[in-house]
Amino acid sequence: MWRLRLIPDTTDIPFLRWRKILFVFSGTLAVLSVVLLFAKGLNFGIDFEGGILIEVGTERPADIGGMRAVLGDLGLGEVSLQEFGSDTEVLIRIERQSSDAEDQLAITAVREVLDAKFAGEITYRRTERVGAKVGAELIEAGIIAMILAIALMLVYIWFRFELPFAIGAIIALVHDVLLTLGMFALFGLEFNLAIVAAILLIVGYSMNDTVVVYDRVRENLRKYKKMPLIELLNVSVNDTLSRTVMTSLTTLLALAALLIFGGEVIRDFTIAMIWGVVVGTYSSVFVASAILMYVRPGTGTNVAKSGFGDAERTKALDDPAEDEALQRFAALPDSGDNGEDDSAAPDDAPESEATGSRASRRASTSRAKRNKRRRKKRR
């Protein structure tokens, strides 16, 4: 059967050798993002700024000029109109009025004049209004949520790995968040509640990717105790590369479907997510691992101790007796008959188990040999 192959089975790409150039690249992008944030600022939607948003649908292609004219006469301050997805849908934004009551009057007035001018041809698809008070609270909640999410993840990584990993992961996260914000500032995309949700999700996703790489680093740190760190990191990134690419691709596939077919309302959200997945993947491969070069995770006790029973499990690699347990574990999902022989009666189980362990003993011996060879070669 023909099989799609995107990543060769064994890769040995010297990612870490490029780390200086990539640091400069990432650093520049991050700094640019900050500059953009301050110089241009984000295009806050009504969720944060307060204000009124009305989406109307029309029977025939909308007469935006006509609408603008009648709405301009109302004296509601800044009113912007734009086509939204198709030429029969128009998005009207009106700046926040002086009070909640004034906002209400503005909505009523807008509906009145539009109904008068386009009688029977217009439907109100969506009306959103956020008062100043709520806007301020939403900003606060968004910032708290973001900080809390990052802090919790830092604690989690610290707890499950060790501090250097946590530092690396957080730097990668901040990098992703900054670049996403920078992208929004650069293109002036509307920044609203959904985007905050998207960024939180990017944080989660990027962390997910980073953890997979770090998990491998942790494992390899125990496996190859004498390997130079740079080489070890490189092996780890290469080992996980095909998974990283695969998952990013499937996620991007799903997001692309959402972008193309998901409708106008969640378009910006999807764009943020797609960008976040790309940046998150990049940062897990290039940034997060490279940072470990500088914060130097210990090869010693701390790593071995962390996690539940990982240390023992690693030992199991070289210990044939433990592989027997592995075989028993293998049979778990299948209640009743055991191991390699599905026609065997339950009382045959011990025998087949023995066969299994013999097989795995063979396997693990060859593994140990191979590992030794590999280590020698690396030295």
Q: Under rule CB under 8 A, which residues in 215-274 are in contact with another protein?
A: 215-216, 219, 239-240, 242-243, 246-247, 249-258, 260-263, 265-266, 269-270, 273
Instruction: Give every CB contact of residue 213 below 8 A, 6+ residues apart in sequence.
Output: 236, 237, 240, 244, 284, 285, 288, 289
**Binds another protein by CB under 8 A, chosen from 107, 166, 167, 285:** 107
Rounded least distance, CB 1 to another protein, Å: 5
Rounded least distance, CB 240 to another protein, Å: 8
Residue 84 to residue 142: CA distance in whole angstroms: 26
**Binds another protein by CB under 8 A, chosen from 51, 142, 168, 280:** 142
Token pair belonging to 57: 């649908």
**Binds another protein by CB under 8 A, chosen from 17, 20, 133, 372:** 133
3-class DSSP state for residue 126? Answer: strand
Restricted to residues 197-216, the positions that interact with another protein (CB under 8 A) are: 197, 200-201, 203-205, 207-209, 211-212, 215-216
Residue 243 to residue 30: CA distance in whole angstroms: 26
Note every long-range contact of 113-120, with CB atoms under 8 Å and residues 24 or more positions apart, other chains counting.
113/70, 113/71, 113/73, 113/74, 114/56, 114/67, 114/70, 114/71, 116/70, 117/66, 117/67, 117/70, 118/58, 118/63, 118/66, 118/67
- Is residue 212 within a helix (H) or strand (E), and if so which, with residue range? helix 193-223
Q: Which amino acid is present at 174? A: V
From the list 33-41, 73-81, 228-236, 353-361, the region that binds another protein by CB under 8 A is 353-361
Q: How many residues bind another protein (CB under 8 A)?
A: 105
**109 scored as a contact of another protein (CB under 8 A):** no
Q: Which is nearer to another protein, 44 or 156 (CB)?
A: 156
Rounded least distance, CB 293 to another protein, Å: 22
**136 scored as a contact of another protein (CB under 8 A):** no
From the list 71-79, 128-136, 174-182, 297-305, the region that binds another protein by CB under 8 A is 128-136
Rounded least distance, CB 127 to another protein, Å: 4
Nearest to 351 by CA among 332, 342, 333, 338: 338
- Is residue 246 within a helix (H) or strand (E), and if so which, with residue range? helix 229-261
**164 scored as a contact of another protein (CB under 8 A):** no
**31 scored as a contact of another protein (CB under 8 A):** no
Q: What ranges make up the beta strands (E) of the chain?
A: 43-44, 51-58, 79-84, 86-94, 122-130, 190-191
Q: Which is nearer to another protein, 55 or 162 (CB)?
A: 55
Q: Which is nearer to another protein, 31 or 152 (CB)?
A: 152
**59 scored as a contact of another protein (CB under 8 A):** no
Rounded least distance, CB 17 to another protein, Å: 23
Rounded least distance, CB 187 to another protein, Å: 20
β pairing state of 190-191 and 43-44: parallel
Residue 180 to residue 177: CA distance in whole angstroms: 5
CB-based contact 163:303 (threshold 8 Å): no
Token pair belonging to 173: 């996260």
Tell me the helix, strand and coil percentages in the chain, rounded to 5. 70, 10, 20
Rounded least distance, CB 332 to another protein, Å: 9
334: phi > 0 → left, psi -120 to 50 → alpha, else beta; which? beta
Q: Spell out, one character per residue from 309 to 348, where the chain touches another protein: x when CB under 8 A holds, - when not.
A: -x--x---------x--xx-xx--xx----xxxx------
Q: Which is nearer to another protein, 127 or 299 (CB)?
A: 127
Rounded least distance, CB 156 to another protein, Å: 7
**359 scored as a contact of another protein (CB under 8 A):** yes
**303 scored as a contact of another protein (CB under 8 A):** no
Rounded least distance, CB 64 to another protein, Å: 19
CB-based contact 220:213 (threshold 8 Å): no
